[in-house]
Amino acid sequence: MSYLSLSDKDKAEMLARAGAGSIDDLFGCIPEAIRLKRPLDLPPAQSEIELVRSVEAIGRKNDGPALLSFLGGGAYEHFIPTVVDYLTSRGEFLSPYTPYQPEVSQGTLQAVFEFQTLVCQLTGLDIANDSLYDGSTGAAEAVLMAQRITGRNKVLVAGSIHPQYRDVIRTYIRNLGIEAVEIGFGPDGRLDRDALAGALDDKTAAVVCQSPNFFGIIEDVRALSEAAHAVKALSVAVVAEALSLGLLEAPGKLGADIVSGEAQSLGLPVSFGGPYLGFMACRKEFLRQMPGRITGQTVDRDGRRGFVLTLSTREQHIRRERATSNICSNEALCALRATVFMETLGKQGLREMAWQNAQKAAYAADRLAAVKGVKRKFSGPVFNEFAIELPRPWAAVDAGLRARGIIGGYGLEAAYPGLGNAALVCVTELRTKDEIDRLVRALQEVLS
């Protein structure tokens, strides 16, 4: 269970209920002869993140040490303040269903309204819905939205988008007459600008890129947006690592018309793959084509602030032929967790956490690249994960690292057959310098 310390007010209320005037009065029945007369022999105070790590280390003594993980690739292990679990586990948040009756759903509606507001701030766009299923379906919904807006049936999809996101996009559009043209990447890991220029034409509905992309590389969203707009196509930016928006410029400010992504990084544990949280934002002129639902703020007849479902363009609510999506629910509890997480950290806290990710990843990349036979696969700038190339197949290296208690990264061969000797390494704020150095030493041993 979570530990929350007592405030002085809490202690005073408990003493008053017990009929004691002080702590000494409360324990007055204990004979002086057996009372401890010195301070407890405790270690120095720790921050919450240090305390959680210490207690988890004690717990692991029951079944041996856990594997040290440097996995990323769309699911990121970040620190989650205790208050997120505490607040979101309250029955008021766990039990509500879809808020069809706003008069009895104000708490739920306010929470998702605040989530929408935060998503707009992170993405730099005007309108956000109150969540989608996950990042992959969010990317697919963005493609469908671009097709409806432009009336065009070709989308240019970066080959550096998460492979599973691309699979979901292809599944969504398979029988809709929409053509998806995949654009490759260059030696810097970014979308190939020459290939993009050759594929753009007046039939293009959108250019879809991910930043940071699957290789961890930060794309030039402004340049890609300008290229799309030159042929009157839309720019769609996908964000699989939402924490990056705490440090990088908002895609909307770089010209993106639609931003969709995965908010698992914002207060949701990795949890064996879900449930996760999709988000989407767009420019206000595209409001009517946004899937899912939007919560709005209004006033009642007495002038008091209230919240209502403003727009729900789905088949449950309007004629099926007018629906923009078949989304029948959202991820309200997950969105609540993300909201509590972001409001707990605040603007500076979110930026600081993102900054630690970038700094630790840079340190890890430099240390690993110094190992004999290892080099960075791509030269582009990164956020918290990067690809390395090794002198032998990753499968063999991975086995050696796991034998030493380390999951060193995600092998790229399954998704990119030409990258059999490459792996994706992720370093978040939870990885310490000692842990990074341990990975480096283990890799040296495996490759020696």
pLDDT for 7-22, tens place per residue? 899 999 999 999 999 9
Greater pLDDT, 399 or 292: 399
Q: Would you state the pLDDT for residue 428?
A: 98
- The H or E element spanning position 94 is helix 91-94
pLDDT band for position 210 (cuts 50, 70, 90)? very high
Work out whether strand 406-407 and strand 410-411 pair parallel, antiparallel, or are unpaired: unpaired
Q: Among 3.90.1150.10, 3.90.550.10, 3.30.230.30, 2.60.40.3880, name the CATH number for the domain at 68-80+345-447.
A: 3.90.1150.10
pLDDT of residue 328: 62
Query: Can you tell me the distance from the alpha carbon of 108 to that of 92, in angstroms, rounded to the nearest whole number?
Result: 9
What average pLDDT does range 297-312 have in this prediction? 89
Whether the per-residue pLDDT at 325 is higher than 70: the answer is yes
Q: Name the token pair of 102.
A: 């706003």
What is the pLDDT, as a whole number, of residue 65? 66
3-state secondary structure of 293: strand
d(CA 125, CA 256): 9
- Predicted confidence (pLDDT) at residue 317 exceeds the cutoff of 60: no
Q: Which residues pair with 238 in a beta bridge?
A: 210, 260
97-111, 282-296, 357-371, 419-433: which has the minimum mean pLDDT? 97-111
- In CATH terms, the fold of domain 83-341 is Aspartate Aminotransferase; domain 2 (3.40.640)
Adjacent-strand bridge partners of 239: 261
Q: Which two tokens stand for residue 111?
A: 């929470």
Instruction: Quote the CA–CA distance of 153 and 176 in Å, as a whole number.
Output: 9
Mean pLDDT calculated for residue range 304-329: 72
Q: How far apart are CA 22 and CA 227, in angstroms?
A: 71
| The pLDDT of residue 61 | 82
Please name the amino acid found at residue 14: M
What pTM was computed for the model?
0.86
In this prediction, what percent of the chain has a pLDDT beyond 70?
A: 95
What are the start and end residues of each CATH 3.90.1150.10 domain in the chain?
A: 68-80+345-447
Which string of DSSP letters, residue by residue, matches 333-383?
HHHHHHHHHHHHHHHHHHHHHHHHHHHHHHHHHHHHHTSTT-EES--S-BS
Average of per-residue pLDDT values in the chain: 92
- CA–CA dist 179, 170 (Å, integer): 9
Is the pLDDT at 97 greater than 90? The verdict is: no
What pLDDT score does 45 carry?
87
**What pLDDT score does 206 carry?**
98
Residue type at position 17: R
β-pairing, 154-158 with 179-183?
parallel
Q: What pLDDT does 293 receive?
A: 85
- When mean pLDDT is compared across 30-34, 152-156, 167-171, the lowest value belongs to 30-34
> What is the mean predicted confidence (pLDDT) over 230-239?
98
pLDDT at 104: 79
pLDDT exceeds 70 at position 301: yes
Question: Across residues 272-290, what is the average pLDDT?
Answer: 93
Residue 351 binned pLDDT confidence (cut-offs 50, 70, 90): very high
| Residue 226 pLDDT class (50, 70, 90 cuts) | very high
Contact present, 227 and 418 (Cβ < 8 Å): no
Q: What pLDDT, on a 0 to 100 scale, did the predictor assign at position 3?
A: 63
Query: Which pLDDT belongs to residue 196?
Result: 98
| Residue range(s) in the chain whose domain bears CATH number 3.40.640.10 | 83-341
Nearest CA to 446 out of 409, 412, 396 is that of 396
- Averaged pLDDT, 291-303: 90
More confident residue, 332 or 353: 353
Cβ 356 vs Cβ 429: under 8 Å: yes
Predicted pLDDT of residue 62: 77
Least confident interval from 38-47, 82-91, 250-259 = 38-47
Q: Do 112 and 332 meet the contact criterion of CB atoms below 8 Å apart? A: yes
User: Is residue 127 pLDDT above 90, yes or no?
Assistant: yes
More confident residue, 311 or 382: 382
Decide: residue 310, CB within 10 A, 0-12 exposed, 13-18 middle, 19+ buried: middle
Residues 335, 112: contact at Cβ < 8 Å?
A: yes
